[in-house]
Structure 1
């Protein structure tokens, strides 16, 4: 893999982007924790606000990742991990932060998948309840507006002439 020498300012910019991504991912993980708690609690009203915040955090993370990828592309490095190890091989603190970033990204992926499963379970429960309600709507009412039982039959009694 051939690389062009990176100017020190660009190396510093990449290292700062790693720090910024790590901070953003930490906040994203905290948001995923909140989302999980809300899902477990069943507080569906809070989910919309969390979903909006989650989308905004994702966009911020994506901008940082795109900028880092652009800078790495200038060095003709295609794999982010290999590029970081090539560029910062002599700066172990940057590599430690990079490893933390990779680990946090995996955690975020796994937590997001777990929350997705919780959402699907919640939706399945809601769908079952809705099916029961819709099924009940097809049966005649057993009570009138005053709460008194209504006869379900109408017409003649069996055996009468």
Structure 2
């Protein structure tokens, strides 16, 4: 169950990366809701596992799972897969976070240029070159 959820989460992170690289912000909004839902499912599975270990009187989750899986090679294999998938998800999520920061910086730069342009209208000289500010009269003034 948990491995299946992790695979779904990693697939979602791959889609998120593709949307970030493609600049498809509308699709990102929809994907965010799905990401939140999958995250909450993963969190519930984690909490259920922690409660089970607590009821069994096992303090250290990592050590408890190691001890539990000692004589269960298939269970150990599945647990190792979950750990591997979790590491992959963490790396992909970190990468996507960096892509989001880059996109935000790009957007902020573009916004700053637009705001600067709005506060300083561009004027053109006789040759069509831009120049900031005007040296002549305002339109409509004599």
The two structures have a TM-score, normalised by structure 2, of: 0.85
Which residue of structure 2 lines up, in the alignment, with residue 93 of structure 1? 74
User: For 1:115 and 1:124, how far apart are their aligned partners in 2?
Assistant: 14
Q: State the shift of 1:141 in Å.
A: 5.5
In the TM superposition, what are the counterparts of 1:64-79 in structure 2 within 5 Å? 64-79=45-60
* Residue of 131, 134, 137 corresponding to 2:112: 131
Q: Deviations over 1:27-50 (max 9, x none)?
A: 000000000000001111111111
Aligned-pair distance for 1:139?
A: 1.8
Structure 1 segments unaligned to the other structure (5+ residues): 1-19, 144-151, 156-161
Match of 2:129 in 1: none
Distance 1:58 1:120 in 2: 21
Give distance in 2, aligned partners of 1:105 and 1:24.
10
Whose strand fraction is larger, Structure 1's or Structure 2's? 2
Query: Where does 1:1-161 land on structure 2 (aligned, <5 Å)?
Result: 20-140=1-121, 142=123, 152=134, 153-154=136-137
Q: What are structure 2's unaligned runs of at least 5 residues?
A: 125-133
| 1:147 aligned residue | none
Larger radius of gyration: 1
- CA distance in structure 2 between the aligned counterparts of 1:85 and 1:125, rounded to whole angstroms: 46
SS at match of 1:33: helix
